[in-house]
Amino acid sequence: MDVSPVEVDEIVRAVLAARKYRAVCPDTVRRIAARELAARGSFKAALKETKSHLHQVYTAFERQVDYEAAHRRLATAYATGSASAVEAACRAALGRHSSTAERLPILDDFYAAIWAVAGAPHSLLDLGCGLNPLALPWMRLPPGAAKPIESGDVLTPPKMQKPVQEEEAAKRAKPAAKPGAKPKP
């Protein structure tokens, strides 16, 4: 069944207007809405199923997180240079999501037990990792095995992401020509 882009956009707007879905990527909502509208044929049914699906994959796990406060607490902890302050800030943030909160009671031994069976990784790429990069202090990885949290990652507040991303893009851009150098054709 062909879906109306107008109806899909209406579902996206309706879903993102709800407080619990505001942080969900609009493209994700759009993809789910289009699929549900094609399957259900009815705007009302597609809206209901889109919200139901998002609840299953997102809001059932997410707790209210004040990302700016968590970012400030982490920045302050790292600035102290104290491992215990960093671990306390990381634990506090990890406790705000059910998939990482459930590991908090066993965090001190969790990764050591995994590495004992599987071997410690030489590098780590965790796609769709949520708050898990904040567990790095407990992973005891070799230097350079994991990248530090960068802009656009989970605990960079949205209003800070764009300026930081622009700054990073400028760093990757071609270096400016030396004064007095002739431009290449």
Q: pLDDT tens digits, residue range 7-52? A: 999 999 999 999 888 888 899 999 999 999 999 989 999 999 999 9
Which contiguous run of DSSP H or E holds residue 13?
A: helix 5-17
Q: How far apart are CA 128 and CA 97, in angstroms?
A: 14
- 77's tokens: 């902890």
User: Is residue 175 scored above 60 in pLDDT?
Assistant: no
For residue 167, is pLDDT > 50?
Answer: no
Q: What is the pLDDT of residues 107-124, one digit of tens each?
A: 999 999 999 999 988 887
Domain ranges of the chain: 5-59, 67-164
Q: Are 56 and 64 in contact (CB under 8 A)?
A: no
The answer to whether 96 touches 70, Cβ cutoff 8 Å, is yes
Q: What's the CATH fold of domain 5-59? A: Helicase, Ruva Protein; domain 3 (1.10.8)
For 159-171, give one letter per residue: b (16+ CB within 10 A) or e.
eeeeeeeeeeeee
pLDDT at 72: 92
